[in-house]
Structure 1
Amino acid sequence: MIQTDIIVIGGGPAGLMAAIAAAQSGANVTMLEKGDRLGRKLLISGGGRCNVTNAKGTEHILHNIPGNGRFLHSVFSQWSSYEIIHFFESRGVKLKEEDRGRLFPVTDRAQTVLDAVLRELERQDVKIRYASHVSHILGEGGGVAGVLLQTGERVKARAIVLATGGCSAPLTGSTGDGYVMAEEHGHTIVAPYPTSVALVSHDVLIQEKRLQGLSLKSVKATLFDERGKRVIQEEGDLLFTHFGLSGPLALRLSHSVVTRQMKTGKQPLMVQLDLLPGFTKEAFMQMLDENRDAHSKKLVRSMLREIVPERLADVVFERCGFKASVTLRELLSKNGEEIVDQLKRFEVVVHDTLGLAKSTVTGGGIRLSEVDPRTLQSKQIRGLFFAGEILDVHAHTGGYNITVAFTTGHVAGTHAASFALQQDADRGVHS
């Protein structure tokens, strides 16, 4: 039987940082990974480039954590994005800032980030065991005693960090194992649901695949509920697909789509796209007048194709109900207003999202009222700590989720080490 101070279950971003933090605090750490390598999810993050965090600071990051971000105030006060930046830069990973504060390694390779983490694990003498699938967390006297592996082997420990992730991207090993382990010790699981996931539409426009593959930069989207009430507005890049909407903008909307439909039973929602967010209605009408004066014989369809991509222009033109031969000279003021309304309020009905297996992030997880927000220790059993996506916390894409993973990992690992080492000290006093 193996004896260690800390067991970290799971070798994703949260588990990796938890193991390093615990070891830096002076604890003996054993990491148990059920797969054959560490950091699988880290390697696919940021399109394979690993968006390590966001440069805009704590308040900005918390604003981009729609899933219970307030719970993390204490965590971020202990170890924030600034510490993440220092951690990697002090270990030779040079970072560069891109749009919206996203930070990537200058190599544009997630492997650069993982290599730095692996070197630190080795330097801190963290013991790593692969193909170690945990069946149960063992309890004793109201606290953890270790784990039981599927092989029947027991590993004893004074504290455990559970960092098994959610159940999105199951090929990376996130299959919801940790939920069962936590439930066995009295924890409640908020039912997992997909978020940061593409949107599904049965709109005729989508079903006919007229805009499939069309990518739009920096458009604005407003989501309306089933009663026509505005829910949220987001801005970003958008991709039309054969099933609906994808890209960063759709993924940002998905949290609101999923949570709204969880309440209403999948009623259709309306997404209204502003295809020209930099253009006011007045500016567009002025441009239209100038074009009418200078090019009165130009076809309206041709003018539209100069403003937005051709396939999109044709859809806008048809939605306005114009004849194909209509020219700018024949265009009435009210017709111009119809065009700008379509460009500023282009509607797509959303019926659903793709499922958990296709989502980037899992919503739901360990109920937060059962977790100490300062230490991330369980309130149900002493010595059990949580980190990362297993918690009922989730963020938008853009470096925010991996920031949550790293920060909760560091805080959970630090406090797990403090707990374990204090147990050692108490045993010394009583022996």
Structure 2
Amino acid sequence: TLVVHGGCSPAPGGGADRSHTFEFDPAVYSLCLETMSWRAPKIAADVSKPAPPADRCVGHGLFAHAAGLVVVGGGAAFGGVLATPPPVFLLEMPAQREGRAMRAQAEKSAARVGSLERDAFNAKKETADVSALLEQTRAAAVSLKRKGDLIAAAEKAGRDAQATLAQKLRDSRSKVAHAEALVTRANAFSALCEDRVDVAYAKMKTARRERDDALAESADLQRAATAAELKASAALREASSREAQALAFMQARDAQDSLKTSETILKLEAELAVAKASAERLEAAKAELVGDLREADKRAGAGREALAQAEDRARFAELSRANALKDAAVAQRTMRREMEALEQEVARAAAGRWAADADGVGKETSRRATKTVADDVTRDETGEEGSESSESSESESESMGESSDASAVDEEDLPSRLIGMLDVERPAW
């Protein structure tokens, strides 16, 4: 709303034509800029000149003023009629709007300039920060390059150590492969030895049966039995010797010894037949050898005792063989555990302790090998003591067949038990 003061208004009582009758109007009028209409408040300097009603609209002329106000000129309008604003007012309103828009734009420009200045200051500050950060980044890059050089040198040393350990691991695996090949050959050799031992046992049982038959016949023929027992004792001693050869036969390579043993058994059978013939021939001289019969009985007792001792020695050899096979199996398991420990040491060495752990593996392996040899010696001594105690037991001599069956069960695991006794670098065969 634009408030103005002063102007001229129609004089009261001017008649129908009141356009030429004017007087000074001291009232204050307001111009509504929205409706483009003048409104006169109920304020007047003289009661004889009442103010127009609030809804009365009048038309006025607009004139510029030095103080920035608008002076209302003369003009009249009839009640209820909205006067058309002068052309000057219509020209001034767009100018005012444009001026306000220009002032708002100027304020916005000033604010934008301030914002740009602040942005420029912030940009300068950020540029300085970026420069400082760039210097720090360059310094960090130099330090990182130095660390990278150190890490590269350490990685190169690690790769060299890892290559050395890999070569050692390949050598160990080649040794393991060589040991497996030796084990395969030992299995074949063990199978051959088992077959030969079975043949020797069968022949030994046959000889024992024939010896028992000869003893039964010689019991009926007193003097002839004495001579036959002497012959049988000699044959049994020879059979014991052949049995020892058969036990030692497990470590031989050729099959000629088995053939010789068979020929020896055949010779023993022939000698036994000759002994039977001699017993028949000596039956005629039975009366003359009564005195010699008692001496022969004593010798026969000694021969039976020698036979029992020979059987005890054979059982002792069998038990020693079973203990040796068990010790071989223990040595094989120990060697496998040492190989697994070596692989674990190699894996840990790849994490950062290549050279030191490689030396430690060699020391640990030699120490364990020494300990394993000491344990084997202890087991051998313990086995010998157990065997000596078994010789004095009479009940074990009666259960020789059961011990032979148990030994046969142990022989089934002969290949794995022989590994501990094999020298993988210089095999016995």
Normalised TM-score (structure 2): 0.21
Could you tell me the TM-score, scaled by structure 1's length? 0.21
**Of the two, which has the highest radius of gyration?**
2
Q: Which has the higher contact order (CA 8 A, sep 6+)?
A: 1
Compare the two structures and name the one with the higher strand fraction: 1
